[in-house]
Structure 1
Amino acid sequence: MTNRVLILGGRGRIGSSVATDLIHHTDAHITITGRSEDTTWKDSFPGDRTDFLQLDLSDDARLKQAIAQSDLVIHCAGPFHYRDGSVLDLCIGQGVNYLDVSDNAGFTQRALSRSDMAAAADVTAIVNSGIFPGISNSMVRHGVEQLDEPEQIHLSYVVSGSGGAGITVMRTTFLGLLKPFDAWLNGAWAKVKPYSDRQPIQLPAPYGKVHVYWFEMPETFTLAESFPVKTVVTKFGSVPDFYNHLTWIAAHIFPKSWIRSKQGTEFLAQVSFRMTSVTDRLSGIGVGIRSEVTGKKDGQPAAYVSTLVHSNTAIAAGNGTGSIAQLLLTGKLHKPGVWAVEQALTTELFEQTMQSRNIQIHHSWAKA
């Protein structure tokens, strides 16, 4: 029988990229949802493999019915700052596997707290899939596995312009600037200010030297829980660099109460989206990731570096989520419970799916 996949928020840039990946790499029938009636999806997807369902996530009855008719639910309806665990709860209640593209630490912690319930229902639920978090988590896992004693993880992301990911990602970025967050530093949790401690890193072409800042991501705590390391650093930056300076101003000068309001967040997101729609023509919409894991190998200090560059952030995110969905649908990935990507996906399976999507990740040893 044909697997049926329900993509919540499937009309957005990330959701549609996930749908495209599934069409290319699976035989699943895909239902795309949105809050309003839409026919434009027909221009992008084959009608015999996809259909559209008008659905508001607040309509519990219709949502429950849609989930019951599915073999896998992929939650792409962000920003996840505003989401609770109700979709996951319904999936657990219906015995349906779950996957999401969440990027909010609070949402992730609430989802992971449901792991025992998911395991009891034989439901495999994986959170934080996509490009970052997602592919980045598996890059770190690969690095950790190269060392005998991993001690520190430094994970950096850089996005060109809008990243092709749509306005929801803009909203998420500004919501992430609201308050200091906990980071795992030297074996203890410490408060860190968002968009602080500007740092240069080196990425492959076309990026070269770029700058990144502290930014709260779910990996901040999932990597600390997944691996025996003393420090986890997660940093983010933009290209062109003047966007970094504008974001720094928003983080350190703008009143937090204004950003916290939906009107303030929406204003900043809309202005940023319009600006990047112009600069995207020059900067592109790609993404760069650098993972460095330091520790000991054969008793000596060592550092293992992995880098990835992709020309389209949204497509890369679709590949990351679609690859895990493919593994769930084929039964190659079955791990009842709720997991972050690095906890559920083996390096072997990760490398297989990346190769099938022509995503190249470069690895090297560096001076510790």
Structure 2
Amino acid sequence: MSKKVLVIGGCGRIGNSVAQDIANHTDAEVTITSRNPQQQVKPPFKFLTLDLAALDQLEKAIASKDLVVHCAGPFHHRDGRVLEACIASKVDYLDVSDHRSFYERVVIHQDQAIAQGVTAILNTGIFPGISNCMTKQGIEQFEQPKKIHLSYVVAGSGGAGLTVMRTTFLGLRNKFAAWIDGKWQDTLPYTEREVIEFPQPYGKTGVYWFDVPETYTFADSFPVETVITKFGSIPDWYNHLTWITAHIFPEAWVTSPKGIEFFSRVSYLMTNVTDKFSGIGVAMRVSITGETAGEPQTYCATMVHGNTAIAAGAGTGTIAQLLLEDKLKQPGIYPVEQALSTELFLEAMASRQIEIVNC
């Protein structure tokens, strides 16, 4: 019998890409959810109206599944109810969470997940997700890695929806702790611009400090002294507009729910126009420095994809496929780099025509 997968938030851009990847690479029965009962869904997907606030409905929906994939962000303010219900029902769990605060809220259930035999893998997708596994591949080349520098650039909207726009603006004014020189140091988002050389068609573009889960989890996953994570947009003038939003506009505009919604919708409308010229792709570059046999060593790898949302779907769909095929079982709660081996990662990327290229 086919295994059953529930993709919560599967009608959104990222969630739908995840569901499509699972359908393309497994024979699982995939059910996608939305709060909107009028949502139109095409085969091969089944549809379920689900509001995460209705705990009884959530628990019932999860109990009959083999895997739950949580794609209903933003995750800045999500609690752990979906994961808790999965643990109670002994159902494996994935998510596309993209903020350290969510990881901190749910990792406290580690012992319960282990006791119930539930594998829960967080931070899957593109960044975090594929970026984590690219970094792990590089770390494995060193005897003593010291510094990780991850840069991401997204063209236009990236093929994503309003939720991703909201995620960007939610953290613009909040300091975050970055692991620098062996200690946690407060860092401001969208500061310390660097110009990074990405593969074509992107070339040189600006990136800025940005709070992503990797900034936090890498310090635990790898024996390094420094983790730098920077993000930028194409066209580059979007970076300057975001910098102005983060540093010039009154704080109340950028931190209030109405302000965040306003900036998100304006940005979404703008990218609907510029996507025609910029495309909706993504490029990532990881640079690692350290030592092997006492000698300095540098590692660099890049990845490019023409559609950010599809790439995110591949990152999460990869983990879903491996769980459904019983190739990945690690009871507990982990960021993706602590659960997925480089060998399995590279096999899955090759099957999706995603190439990791050494620079």
TM-score range, shorter chain: over 0.9
1:75 aligns with 70
2:104 aligns with 109
Residue 17 in structure 1 maps to residue 17 in structure 2: yes
Give every structure 1 segment of 4 or more consecutive aligned residues whose post-TM-superposition deviation is greater than 6 Å: none
Which one of 221, 243, 248 corresponds to residue 248 of structure 1? 243
Is contact 2:69–2:95 with CA below 8 Å preserved after alignment?
yes
Shift of 1:260: 2.2
1:286 aligns with 281
Which one of 201, 214, 228 corresponds to residue 223 of structure 2? 228
Residue 2 in structure 1 maps to residue 17 in structure 2: no
Q: Distance in 2 between matches of 1:108 and 1:235?
A: 20
SS in 2 for 1:279: helix
Alignment of 1:90-129 (within 5 A): 90-129=85-124
Shift of 1:41: 1.6
Is contact 2:246–2:254 with CA below 8 Å preserved after alignment?
no
The Cα offsets for residues 100-138 of structure 1, whole Å up to 9 and x where unpaired, read as 000011001112222111111100000000000000000
Shift of 1:176: 1.6
Q: Distance in 2 between matches of 1:98 and 1:262?
A: 29
Q: Distance in 1 between matches of 2:108 and 2:222?
A: 18
SS in 2 for 1:292: strand
The aligned amino acid for 1:333 is: L
- Provide the aligned C-alpha RMSD in A: 0.9
Shift of 1:259: 2.1
Which one of 176, 181, 186 corresponds to residue 191 of structure 1? 186
**Matched residue count:** 359
Which one of 257, 262, 266 corresponds to residue 261 of structure 2? 266
The Cα offsets for residues 320-352 of structure 1, whole Å up to 9 and x where unpaired, read as 000000001111000000000100000000001
Alignment of 1:171-210 (within 5 A): 171-210=166-205
Shift of 1:253: 1.6
Which one of 205, 209, 231 corresponds to residue 214 of structure 1? 209
Alignment of 1:130-145 (within 5 A): 130-145=125-140
Is contact 2:173–2:188 with CA below 8 Å preserved after alignment?
no
Q: Distance in 2 between matches of 1:256 and 1:109?
A: 26
The aligned amino acid for 1:12 is: G
1:352 aligns with 347
SS in 1 for 2:41: helix
User: Which runs of 5 or more structure 1 residues have no equivalent in the other structure?
Assistant: none
Which one of 318, 334, 352 corresponds to residue 313 of structure 2? 318
Q: Distance in 1 between matches of 2:253 and 2:333?
A: 35
1:309 aligns with 304
Is contact 2:192–2:208 with CA below 8 Å preserved after alignment?
yes
User: Which runs of 5 or more structure 2 residues have no equivalent in the other structure?
Assistant: none
SS in 2 for 1:113: helix
1:276 aligns with 271
Residue 37 in structure 1 maps to residue 37 in structure 2: yes
Is contact 2:301–2:356 with CA below 8 Å preserved after alignment?
yes
The aligned amino acid for 1:332 is: K
Q: Distance in 1 between matches of 2:110 and 2:250?
A: 37
The aligned amino acid for 1:284 is: G
Shift of 1:39: 4.6
SS in 1 for 2:191: coil
Shift of 1:297: 2.1
Q: Distance in 1 between matches of 2:251 and 2:74?
A: 18
1:340 aligns with 335
Shift of 1:17: 0.3
Q: Distance in 1 between matches of 2:4 and 2:167?
A: 29
